[in-house]
Amino acid sequence: MQSINPFTGEIVQTYLEYTTVEVDTIVQQVDTAYQGWKRTTFDHRSTLMKYLQAKLVEKRGSLAALIVSEMGKVYREALGEIDKCALACGYYAENGERFLQNEPVQTEARESYISYQPIGTILAVMPWNFPFWQVFRFIAPALMAGNTGLLKHASNVSGCALAIEQLVAEAGFPENVFRTLLIGSAKVEAVIANPLVKAVTLTGSTPAGKAVAAAAGANLKKSVLELGGSDPYIILEDADVVTAARLCVTSRLLNAGQSCIGAKRFIIADRVYDEFKTEFVQIMSASVCGDPFDPNTTFGPLSRKDLRDELHQQVEKSLGMGATLLIGGFIQVGEAAFYPPTVLENVTPGMPAYHEELFGPVAVLYRFKTEEEAIRIANDTVFGLGAGVFTANLQSGKLLAEKGFEAGCVFVNDFVKSDPRLPFGGIKESGYGRELSYLGIREFVNTKTIVVK
């Protein structure tokens, strides 16, 4: 297992995959830790979670640099990722007990109520694109609920995985409450099948989600899946076109376009299509792809060359089927896994750019004449993660957000972002279940009915 710097092409570190015996031993150790951890008070858990928050703040610079070296995110975005992890720790430290307090229910009994209790060790299978944030939005609610955690991270960010394990230990959590498993995908099914593992959460591709869901289902275990997305953004004719274009480009280029909730498809009213296209293409063209540590860099390389090549194949195949290339669409020579800002139009059903997730700095523009047509295009996808609408009429925007889009989250006059205070997740092939907010911490608890006669 290797971490390779996607900017320099150099090997950052090589790791030995854990053996089956090592994995089974760790699972047993984490289950043993659970037997004591589940009996701790919320006050105790909250104190340790705040220590973890402080550790993230203390080490934000070095942790951000580790992110950059392993997956190529620009340094300022990596700093923001660490800050967001700290925010999540603080949020659940402050609110975990309230979210899981007993809920009285009026019945004929002397007393009846709902009690939320931990269920055990949860396996988290996580991707490389937000190597700290994806994990911490699992760690914070899971540990605050009294569960213990196992992390199977993407192999190319093994350094981040081990750093997270170390952070939890340094914050004072009991030994083995949270452990990292350095294993490949082939060993995940056996971990899910282990009787000591009670549930699994995955953030990743739709095929990976289906495989994990099948394994969890075969073992009658709860699963939460946050999968791919092809987020549509509708720009109505009364929108502030300049602002919309700027925010849409920001979302499309965030993390070099490697975001499940990145804006990917832009559906523009016919009346403002040319104006939006001109502004959008101009901003995309002016963006700088370069050294992730350079403050002038807009976005860095893709995380791996094979992923860059797959993206380029999607673009080339779509062009071969009749799509129009406005900018970009080529592979840059060099060691870095760069892909330039790319914009396509005249994309039609049947093309990869129409149906598939474009996990990189590639945008697709569509034109519409009626809102019904816009919603049809927006929802003509197997995905249903995020979406956006830009309009001066907030009531119209809210109505489209509530009744029009088939998505787990919709933003009006802004791009989609995850927030610890709000539930996050999708529908259709973007997955099921919710992370974050009070709903996230309740995904992996026993919702227990108590009745006293």
- Widest CA span in the chain: 75
Q: Mind giving me the DSSP string for 304-340?
A: -HHHHHHHHHHHHHHHHTT-EEEE--SPPPSSS----
89 is catalytic: no
Cα separation, 114 vs 241, in Å, equals: 49
Among residues 85, 160, 248, 260, which one is catalytic? Answer: 260
| DSSP classification of residue 289 | B
211-218 long-range contacts, Cβ below 8 Å, gap at least 24?
A: 212/125, 212/188, 215/188, 215/189, 216/192, 218/193
Axis crossing angle, helix 158-170 with helix 60-71, rounded to the nearest 10: 160
Axis crossing angle, helix 60-71 with helix 75-99, rounded to the nearest 10: 120
In sign, the C-alpha dihedral spanning 293, 296, 302, 308 is negative
Separation of CA 249 from chain center: 19
Among residues 70, 165, 226, 406, which one is catalytic? Answer: 226
443 is catalytic: no
Backbone angles phi, psi at 444, to 5 degrees: -120, 55
Q: Which residues contact 282 (CB under 8 A, 6 or more apart)?
A: none
Q: Which two tokens stand for residue 13?
A: 């570190």
Q: Is 438 exposed, middle or buried (0-12, 13-18, 19+ CB in 10 A)?
A: middle
Q: How far is CA 122 from CA 30, 118, 234, in A?
A: 10, 10, 38
Query: Does residue 344 contact residue 363 with C-beta atoms inside 8 Å?
Result: yes
Q: Is 380 exposed, middle or buried (0-12, 13-18, 19+ CB in 10 A)?
A: middle
| DSSP classification of residue 19 | P
Length of the chain: 453
For the chain, report the end-to-end CA distance as a whole number of angstroms. 58
Task: Tell me the catalytic residues.
Answer: 226, 260
